[in-house]
Amino acid sequence: MVTLASDVEVLARFGRALAAPIRCRILLALRQAPDHPSDLADALGISRTRLSNHLVCLRDCGLVVAVPDGRRTRYELSDDRLGHALDDLRTAVVAVEADKTCQDTETKGCC
């Protein structure tokens, strides 16, 4: 059953999904066009197993959907507005101190 998430939950899921650089790369690739896992893995230079694990997380976070495509499965962003959100986040200016890192002590793993 699909339910709509609250505003805060949507932001938290988006943040958790973006916490891993590989998931960011996957989302940016899918922003360009839907793709099949094997092609995505090749384009990103990662194993299919590793890609599959990250796609599960992105699906669980509600950011991507799997679409049957003949005998294969194609992945795409779950909402076109996510592409615009990624563009906005990618071009946003953030103020960081060179010797500081962003640590998340509250979440463990994915969504």
Please name each of the domains of the chain with its CATH number.
8-83 (1.10.10.10)
Single pTM value for the model: 0.81
- Residue 82's nearest CA partner among 63, 65, 69, 61 is 63
Q: What is the pLDDT of residues 39-66, one digit of tens each?
A: 999 999 999 999 999 999 999 989 999 9
Q: 105 pLDDT exceeds 60?
A: no
pLDDT of amino acid 56:
95
- The tokens for 76 are 């795409």
Share of the chain above pLDDT 90, in %: 60
- Residue 74's nearest CA partner among 86, 82, 83, 65 is 65
Mean local confidence (pLDDT), 76-99: 86
